Structure 1
């Protein structure tokens, strides 16, 4: 009898210490393909995004309840190409507010793939928390014969519920991989392994377990100088694509529309065409920030003072940030400074 009593007391103590407690994970839904629907089960590329509400999305993956205590919240219901800077600021503020709560252990954001990398980078740099913030999406709608959304969502919640995932910056979980939001981009638009980092995955999630192999060496989260609680709006930053036979009219149009910076998505090492160079020099002399990026798909790496005299021109290079990520970081940098040397420091450190 005494032994049974000891066992009972031990069980009660375990419950009191949380040994059997599940993590509390909030799923913030924003729409996208993961909430999309097609007319037929064979439609994996032609469908309508952002049709399935979060409650229905969660009901489709009952296994989530075995991993964590999950509840959903519908923040937006949009295809991600239609999200604005105002939207991502609002989302980040909601993530920040939830991360401060003691009854929240991790946060998952369901999102469309088209701008997932931009939103998740923004969250990684501006939300000051060590709690896991995990972005997840799918390449096929929920109605497709081989939908990847349910497993991606389960994997994302698994990662968010795991204490190993703390203090790693915002993460992207898709196709069994745990990827850093900083350097992961959509490289393909029709395959489930669409998201790739040129520097490799941080880890894997397989059969309900997370496995980490590396960490991020750049600034994020609590180590960032950018805090979403102090940000209300973002400066207007435009991306203009470099190509053969380039002209200057789009750069002038961006300046006339009120842009504070232009990301030049150049060829190769962020090269600027001879016909465009005088225009960028003129705009810089008038206070416009010029950031040289590269539109090389597999990972452009722009070297300073190569292809252009950045020191003399007062230009910034985007390091290994692609144009769309460079836009996000430049907008954040402009909330702090208009000094191109300081903006360059930010690109090196983040």
Structure 2
């Protein structure tokens, strides 16, 4: 064997060894929220969200560097009650760029908990990669006693850095539990164990810096999604009308008069309308506004052609989506079609 061949063999061996030992490259995108919040004292329940930058978040949990090659960037720094379409589009585009062009192995998004479930579901439908994307947040601000943010960031990085997370769609990691983006819901206003998956349960958990998965989701997502936002500058306008006894017609009427593209009903029971609101919904549908029936009830589906004849009225049933997630899917569906049957198919599959 010549010296040149020996050198080439050693070089190839070195490349193989370095590839096998290289840490995954994980990018943390910070958007604000309670995890970046600051309180007047360590014991105060009052705080201001979105005050701390990504560098401070990473300094609070240096142990993530044992798991991956971690770097961060600040996309926005807002409380998640102020999350909006523009930030969603910016975030989805940036994640697609990181995973598909800059060759990162995974992304962790720090996010406020108020609208985390909506952002997670939006990304589940608009990120086109099978690489892990994990959202984490906190129920206590960064200055609080036993702040939960650092532990959630560590668990989120551990999940994003694991090959076991590949192909599972967007995940939410809170309190060492892993949730599918479609099922996850915030179910408590203040508790650190605020998140649950109402109809399906969590998909796994994190223990000893490793994710353990208990089930695979069946809904379509990410690489199998038809919704592309790379060239999108805005989203269709969709509002939510909340149902209750003796419900006012004003919200439904207002959305119709404003020519919204779609309206989601957070109906009573199995997505039922108050009788007067139903009449306005029929008028809105006659004007070409798509109507999706969801339910204000946390558990169970809004059934197709149940008490309401959806096929007759060309309504769409949200099935197991909450009203807020039904709004997300309807907005994206309307970028593709206004055919209620095709939209119902999206709700069946995604």
Preserved contact between residue 15 and residue 21 of structure 1 (Cα < 8 Å):
no
Report the counterpart of residue 295 of structure 2 in structure 1: 294
Report the counterpart of residue 224 of structure 1 in structure 2: 225
Report the counterpart of residue 84 of structure 1 in structure 2: 84
Deviation at 1:224, TM superposition (A): 0.8
Deviation at 1:256, TM superposition (A): 2.0
State how far apart, in whole Å, the 2-side matches of 1:90 and 1:258 are: 26
Task: For residues 116-163 of structure 1, give each alpha carbon's deviation from its aligned partner in whole angstroms, at most 9, with x where no partner exists.
Answer: 011111111111101101111111111111211100000000000111
Report the secondary structure of 1:234's partner residue: coil
Task: For residues 272-296 of structure 1, give each alpha carbon's deviation from its aligned partner in whole angstroms, at most 9, with x where no partner exists.
Answer: 1112111111110111111100011
Report the secondary structure of 1:275's partner residue: helix
Stretches of 4+ aligned residues off by more than 3 angstroms:
12-17
TM-score for the superposition, normalised by structure 1: 0.94
State how far apart, in whole Å, the 2-side matches of 1:129 and 1:286 are: 37
Deviation at 1:102, TM superposition (A): 5.2
Report the counterpart of residue 316 of structure 2 in structure 1: 316
Task: For residues 161-213 of structure 1, give each alpha carbon's deviation from its aligned partner in whole angstroms, at most 9, with x where no partner exists.
Answer: 11110110000001111110111011111111111112011111112111111
Preserved contact between residue 31 and residue 110 of structure 1 (Cα < 8 Å):
yes
Q: 1:63-102 maps to which residues of 2 (within 5 A)?
A: 63-101=63-101
Preserved contact between residue 300 and residue 322 of structure 1 (Cα < 8 Å):
no
Task: For residues 294-334 of structure 1, give each alpha carbon's deviation from its aligned partner in whole angstroms, at most 9, with x where no partner exists.
Answer: 0113x241011112111111111101000000000000000
Report the counterpart of residue 165 of structure 1 in structure 2: 165
Deviation at 1:15, TM superposition (A): 6.2
1:47 matched to 2:53? The reply is: no
Gaps of 5+ in 2: 1-9
State how far apart, in whole Å, the 2-side matches of 1:196 and 1:292 are: 22
State how far apart, in whole Å, the 2-side matches of 1:227 and 1:149 are: 31
Report the counterpart of residue 271 of structure 2 in structure 1: 270
Gaps of 5+ in 1: 1-8
| Root mean square deviation, CA, Å | 1.6
Deviation at 1:229, TM superposition (A): 2.2
Deviation at 1:219, TM superposition (A): 0.7
Preserved contact between residue 120 and residue 181 of structure 1 (Cα < 8 Å):
yes
Report the counterpart of residue 7 of structure 2 in structure 1: none
Report the secondary structure of 1:50's partner residue: coil
TM-score for the superposition, normalised by structure 2: 0.94
